[in-house]
């Protein structure tokens, strides 16, 4: 039997996240991206459908690479305008009981001392239901507006991120001991000063001498997601991630990547199954296969190819506005998101993509596979991905929002439950729900080496 499936919804506080043009579909509610009620309803519905998490993407600049301007992305509402996901998490937590919340934050642009306090706050107020998606970011527009002028080179972003992680592990794991907060009125001690330690960090990129601002929270270090897929990104994920997002075109090709990651985990001193792998997919479900195929055909009428090329250009730094739309695409080393470009060039050697095909493909769910059919057909395919790809779950995007996720909850979740493939989380922290172990970092995780009394840092 296939192992139980982990389910994450992949979202963003924007009108067009992964499916440019589909906001015009009559059933689409993406225009409500700025209504808190939209996100509360979605989180509650996903929780009822057994989803383990809702994961919010975030970027820090406009997509302005296509034709040398942001106009095309702005016109199409392509990840613009946007709101900051961290600020709605407590409201979603108050309206739900079990579902976890993944939040993206950039180590390239946020100071570690501030980020550590913000995530501790979220971990506290959600009772441990928060995860951090660690990104190094990929946009020149972000670099320009955040004072760097241009991006730090791709691999150096990861080198800097390594030191960043040392700082936040020191703050979360090693600065304030369990039991430091005593709140003893008789002794007139709120916090025991002997259990609060300055971290004394002085490195190449960061200087943080003092102690953490927050007391230990349910998970201490929030559950850690990562999605680096380049070779440098993969090494970073093997060292730090507890769950990895990947976007592969087929279970067979995903398997190659997964085998590489599991091998790297072992080389990094962790067990091969210490990290859960979520593969991206868009699910278009209906009562019958025919009805689902009709849905997809209907969606195709709303695709916006120019906006899709603006999204692709933003991801990769590659501007296809002047190329022959029917010429084969080639891989180029860029400072942007290398794996997004690889998805349409090197990842599947048997498939040659043109810009025209790419634009239509990207506009339905972005980079992952589109799985269409009745509940039985879809669950058969999800099981195939799990067993052939050796993945642990899915990060589900939508074409029409929130209708595709609603259809999943209504049609696919019951079929998964019927087959024993969906085990509802019992509550507790996000880490416990995904890894099935305790609320804190595993002892073989690098961050555990920063605990008070730890003998070595891995």
Q: Looking at 52, 129, 338, 445, which residue binds ligand FMN (CB under 6 A)?
A: 338
Q: Looking at 96, 137, 151, 235, which residue binds ligand FMN (CB under 6 A)?
A: 137
Q: At which residue do the structure tokens 């507790």 appear?
A: 428
Q: What stretch of H or E contains 101? A: strand 100-106
Could you tell me the smallest distance in angstroms from the CB atom of residue 189 to ligand FMN? 42
* Shorter beta-carbon distance to ligand FMN: residue 137 or 374: 137
Q: Give yes or no for residue 102 binding ligand FMN (CB under 6 A).
A: no
Could you tell me the smallest distance in angstroms from the CB atom of residue 233 to ligand FMN? 2
Burial bucket for residue 322 (CB in 10 Å: 0-12, 13-18, 19+): exposed
Query: Got the DSSP string for 324-393?
Result: -TTSBP-----SS-HHHHHTTTTS-TT---BHHHHHHHHTTTTTS-EEEE-HHHHHHHHHHHHHHHT--E
Residue whose C-alpha is closest to residue 74's, from 317, 346, 245, 314: 314
Within 156-215, the residues that bind ligand FMN by CB under 6 A are: none
Q: Looking at 23, 138, 169, 361, which residue binds ligand FMN (CB under 6 A)?
A: 138
Contact 115, 207 (CB under 8 A): no
* Shorter beta-carbon distance to ligand FMN: residue 280 or 386: 280
Residue 9's SS3 state is strand
Q: Give yes or no for residue 129 binding ligand FMN (CB under 6 A).
A: no
Within 52-71, the residues that bind ligand FMN by CB under 6 A are: 57-59
Question: Interface with ligand FMN by CB under 6 A: which range of 14-22, 72-80, 133-141, 164-172?
Answer: 133-141
Q: Compute how many residues bind ligand FMN; rule: CB under 6 A.
A: 21
- Rounded CA separation 102/276 (Å): 14
* Shorter beta-carbon distance to ligand FMN: residue 170 or 367: 367
Could you tell me the smallest distance in angstroms from the CB atom of residue 200 to ligand FMN? 30
* Shorter beta-carbon distance to ligand FMN: residue 120 or 247: 247
- Rounded CA separation 6/51 (Å): 7
Q: What are the CA-CA distances from residue 151 to residues 216, 331, 446 (Å)?
A: 34, 20, 27
Q: Looking at 96, 126, 395, 398, which residue binds ligand FMN (CB under 6 A)?
A: 395
User: What is the DSSP code (8-state) at residue 213?
Assistant: S
* Shorter beta-carbon distance to ligand FMN: residue 317 or 375: 317
Q: Give yes or no for residue 282 binding ligand FMN (CB under 6 A).
A: no
Measure the CA dihedral 443/223/337/393, to 10°.
100
Sign of CA dihedral 140, 146, 151, 156: negative
Q: Give yes or no for residue 228 binding ligand FMN (CB under 6 A).
A: yes
Q: Give yes or no for residue 235 binding ligand FMN (CB under 6 A).
A: no
* Shorter beta-carbon distance to ligand FMN: residue 211 or 340: 340
Task: For residue 450, give both structure tokens.
Answer: 């920063």
Q: What is the binding site for ligand FMN (CB under 6 A)?
A: 10, 57-59, 104, 135-138, 227-230, 233, 245, 247, 280, 337-339, 395
């Amino acid at each position: 039997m296939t192992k139980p499936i982990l389910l994450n919804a992949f979202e963003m506080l924007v009108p067009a996240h992964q499916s440019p043009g589909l906001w015009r579909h009559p059933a689409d509610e993406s225009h409500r991206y700025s209504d808190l009620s939209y996100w509360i309803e979605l989180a509650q519905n996903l929780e009822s459908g057994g989803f383990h998490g809702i994961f919010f993407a975030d970027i820090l600049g406009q997509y302005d690479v296509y034709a040398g301007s942001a106009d095309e992305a702005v016109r199409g509402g392509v990840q613009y305008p946007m709101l900051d996901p961290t600020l709605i998490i407590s409201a979603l937590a108050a309206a739900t009981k079990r579902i976890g919340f993944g939040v993206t934050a950039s180590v390239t642009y946020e100071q570690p001392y501030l980020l550590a306090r913000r995530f501790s706050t979220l971990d506290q107020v959600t009772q441990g239901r928060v995860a951090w998606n660690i990104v190094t970011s990929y946009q020149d527009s972000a670099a320009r507006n955040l004072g760097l002028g241009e991006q730090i080179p791709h691999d150096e972003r990861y080198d800097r991120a390594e030191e960043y992680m040392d700082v936040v592990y020191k703050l979360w794991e090693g600065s304030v001991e369990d039991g430091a907060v005593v709140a003893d009125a008789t002794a007139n001690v709120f916090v025991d000063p002997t259990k609060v330690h300055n971290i004394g960090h002085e490195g190449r990129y960061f200087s943080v001498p003092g102690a953490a601002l927050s007391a230990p929270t349910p998970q201490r270090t929030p559950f850690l997601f990562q999605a680096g897929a380049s070779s440098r990104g993969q090494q970073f994920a093997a060292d730090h991630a507890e769950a990895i997002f990947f976007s592969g075109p087929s279970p067979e090709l995903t398997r190659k990547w997964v085998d590489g990651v599991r091998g790297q985990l072992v080389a990094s001193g962790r067990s091969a199954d210490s990290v859960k792998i979520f593969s991206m997919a868009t699910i278009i479900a209906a009562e019958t296969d025919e009805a689902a195929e009709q849905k997809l055909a209907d969606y195709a009428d709303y695709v916006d190819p120019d906006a899709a090329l603006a999204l692709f250009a933003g991801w990769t730094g590659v501007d296809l506005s002047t190329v022959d739309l029917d010429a084969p695409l080639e891989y180029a080393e860029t400072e942007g998101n290398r794996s997004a470009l690889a998805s349409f060039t090197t990842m599947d050697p048997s498939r040659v993509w043109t810009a025209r095909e790419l634009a239509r493909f990207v506009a339905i769910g972005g980079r992952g596979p589109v799985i269409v059919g009745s509940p039985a057909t879809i669950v058969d395919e999800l099981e195939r991905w799990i067993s052939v790809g050796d993945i642990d779950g899915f990060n589900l995007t939508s074409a029409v929002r929130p209708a595709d996720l609603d259809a999943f909850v209504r049609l696919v979740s019951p079929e998964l439950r019927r087959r024993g493939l969906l085990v509802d989380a019992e509550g507790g922290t996000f880490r416990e729900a995904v890894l099935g172990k305790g609320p804190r970092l595993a002892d073989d995780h690098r961050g555990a080496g920063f605990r008070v009394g730890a003998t070595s840092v891995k």
